[in-house]
Chain A
């Protein structure tokens, strides 16, 4: 089924895909918060296990999930290395000329890397299992209380969905314009960054002019179909919470409370260390 032509949506027929997008969105926000409450390695491991379980249920190959991490691997490495060298602590592990590495530094670096990877994994899980349209609908629904303070929630959601719809069209147009310019001898591939950027100008100008023309025509077409941001509209697609959404919410909250309790009450690492002593 070619439902989506862009983005990283990975279509399977899993329970996770069919979940209410609002719950998924809220869960992801909750987990991003959770990541900042993780203290010890056991919890990190637990959360990673949790991510892998979701990925498994969602029938997404781990390879696909890992691919999303690859984009930030550089950031992860640099921040970890900086932390490794510049964190000072009490237990000195390595000392060589001016370089001093402390135990705390190593720990910091590892945890930071894990944290960054988790911060990338969770939103990826969302976009892999939810279409952009569903996300837009979810946002509209979740933001609807803002209507009370006169924020045009519906208009914002509509703008987002039109933007999403226009992405493939504008991409196609960009390609066409580039080919047209190439046919007339334009060179996009050689030269330094500045030269390449300059070469893009004859592509961008017609692209923008075209986009404005499209916007004009689209507005006319919407007028012709009686669109009004103020009138009372009905909605054809209604999102409904089902049992699986409730179950998912409970599981998510349970994991979150576990992490939270661990931070403020227990401390699994110490417990395990105590066992070995």
Chain B
């Protein structure tokens, strides 16, 4: 079990009063799973992400990664955690350090003290894993948003993480870029990397094998996408929107149409309705 939250609270300290961002969260993220954390703005989902690799230490409660607590002052200990739990952020331009893609990807392994020859191999691996090999010597400046985020993912992959946390990494992208990033995430998950996808787009949750919905700092729903998507009214209460096809499917099931209880894409739904006379 790589990541474990035990009754975790987190308060942002502000001048007069503190703002509670995460309240009493207990959960476990299992090895090799594809977890999607959904929630509206201010639901605490991004804070949850930053608690996973020790960027934030919990105000109370314990977060452990492979049994190590993230609330440590010890830099080597923290680095061990962050190497295991890699993180990609929202704005691709604000997380790139170098002017050339190759250097950008080398940055993480350099920090870990990986020997030179191996860094070269890791760059090859990371770029091919995100399908950006031919851009190795280019500058990230002229890439599209989706390509930039794939480079950001490659930069984390070069550190050989076990978990990849995508902290709203699709929020600033156009639909095409979003699809690119999700596709890469799915492929990495097939190779055994645990994916934690933080998003407010519920349609991205369809690919996950577990969906966690957050609201007001607490985990309010937790289950497979099918289980979650069935509770349409509850989802809407948390200001989230079901993907259109699934919203229609849920409504039809509610009206008594004998549809299979699962997640539909638009074409699948059309087919299912035609068959269900």
Contact = CB atoms under 8 A, between A and B. Distances in A.
Given A3-B139, A5-B142, A217 B99 contact: no
Contacts of A4: 99, 139
Interface stretch (A51-59, A119-127, A222-230): A222-230
A235 interface: yes
A225 B91 contact: no
Interface stretch (B108-116, B178-186, B251-259, B265-273): B108-116
B96 A165 contact: yes
Contacts of A235: 110, 116
Interface in A204-252: 213-214, 217-218, 220-228, 231-238
Given A133-B99, A133-B103, A234-B113, A226 B79 contact: yes
Given A231-B111, A236-B106, A2 B97 contact: no
A221 B89 CA distance: 7
A221 B95 contact: yes
A3 B137 contact: yes
Contacts of B79: 226, 228, 231
Interface string A117-141: 0000000000000001100000000
A234 B114 CA distance: 6
Most interface-central of A132, A169, A231, A236 (chain B CB within 10 A): A236
B108 to A, nearest CB: 4
Contact of A218 (B97, B112, B116): B97
Contacts of A220: 50, 55, 89
Contacts of B141: 5, 168-169
Contact of A217 (B91, B98, B106, B119): B91
Name the interface size band of chain A.
35 or more
A226 B97 contact: no
B87 A226 contact: no
Contacts of B200: none
Given A5-B142, A133-B103, A221-B94, A226 B120 contact: no
Contact of B98 (A3, A161, A168, A214): A161
B83 interface: yes
A139 B268 CA distance: 60
Nearest to B79: A226
B86 interface: yes
Interface of B: 50, 53, 55, 75, 79, 82-83, 86-87, 89, 91, 93-100, 102-103, 106-116, 119-120, 123, 137-139, 141-142, 155-156, 159
